[in-house]
Amino acid sequence: MLDNYLLEELATFAATGTLAETAAKLNVTQPTVTRGMQKLEDDLGVQLFIRQPNRITLTPTGELAAKEAQQLISANHAAVARIRHFEQSQRSLRLAATVPGPLILLDTLAEELPTTVSLEQQLLPTASPQLLLHNNYDLIFTTSPLKNSAIATQRIGVERLAVALNRFMIQANQPTVTFADLAGLSFVVASDIGMWRDIIQSEIPHAKFFYQEQRSALAEITKYSDFPYFTSNLGGTDISLPAPDNDSDDDNRVRRPISDDSAQQPIYAAYLRGNESRVRPVLTTLKAHWPAD
């Protein structure tokens, strides 16, 4: 078996072309590199270098050996990363979603999850099977199934978009609204709302959207202004926003469901079949608290 440090020296020499630069890059002395290269030739039983008085170069065999060395080094680094990634995954579940609702709802349910479950959450613009197959995430919530024989998909429920409107607006006088009813209005919106962003921008004609990256700023604007904002049956597009109360006289806003089909998005949970026992507590808790249709 070849020592890893010898492979590093050979690959670095192939990249730099000189013993001096190789030594400097690896933070060792030049004689150390020279001895290492000689040992590598002895271990392999082949000639890797052409040695001249003021120059050393790789033989064709040396060039092949350097390529193989780089591949072994890369494979070693990848294996270490996978092992560390796997160990981390055993201590926490990495969650992702293309809409924020499931993650927001899970935030409110943290105390009901087993103490051994720690969640790391990420909102994604899109989702693909590779994110699970490459162990980037353990559980992904999407609006369409991820199709792969190694992936299990469960339909969890439906996220239904609604809008919080000033109770004195004309649109607030009806039990539901359509996207067309909201044409021309100005909305304050959280920046990270996943695919809902594309939907509202494409479905509401001539609307203006004031996107806010800072949650505290968004909460302040909704508190002290009458700008409409979006919410959903899963607790809203942001848990820091005030919940409009249709029966309260203290808040000028009322919540009105949006009736368009595109405002009703099915939510699927996707995970590797081998991870079913790990994700089951999260899915069981989520299903138990999912709002009834």
Whether residues 11 and 123 fall in one domain: no
Say whether both 31 and 102 belong to one domain. no
Residue-number span of the structural domain to which 234 is assigned: 93-293
Among 90, 115, 132, the domain boundary falls at 90
Beta strands 139-142; 264-272: pairing state:
antiparallel
Contact between 146 and 283 (Cβ < 8 Å): no
- Looking up residue 249, the CATH number of its domain turns out to be 3.40.190.290
What value does the mean pLDDT take over residues 113-131?
82
**For residue 267, what are the β-bridge partners?**
157
Asked whether 272 and 150 are in contact (CB, 8 A), the reply is yes
pLDDT digits (tens, 9 = 90+) for 54-91: 889 999 999 999 999 999 989 888 888 777 766 665 66
Last residue of a domain, one of 33, 57, 90: 90
For residues 157 and 48, what is the distance between their CA atoms, to the nearest angstrom? 63
Category of 210 on φ-ψ map: left (φ > 0), alpha (ψ -120 to 50) or beta: beta
98 and 39 together in one domain: no
Same domain flag for 210 and 148: yes
Token pair in block for residue 180: 């067309």
pLDDT digits (tens, 9 = 90+) for 149-208: 999 999 999 999 999 999 999 999 999 999 999 999 999 998 888 899 999 999 999 999
Tell me, what CATH number does 82's domain have?
1.10.10.10
Q: Examine the fold and report which residue of 32, 55, 90 is the final residue of a domain before the chain moves on.
A: 90
User: Count of domains in the chain?
Assistant: 2
DSSP H or E stretch at residue 153: strand 151-166
123 in the same domain as 35 = no
pLDDT digits (tens, 9 = 90+) for 225-278: 889 999 899 865 444 444 455 444 456 889 999 999 999 999 999 999 999 988
Which is it for strands 253-257 and 119-123: parallel, antiparallel or unpaired? unpaired
Q: Are residues 72 and 135 in the same domain?
A: no
Ordered DSSP codes for 159-179: EEEEEEEETTSGGGGSS-B-T
Tell me: do 194 and 158 sit in the same domain. yes
Segment (H or E) for 140: strand 139-142
Same domain, 197 and 210: yes
Q: Report pTM.
A: 0.66
Residue 193 carries which DSSP code?
A: -
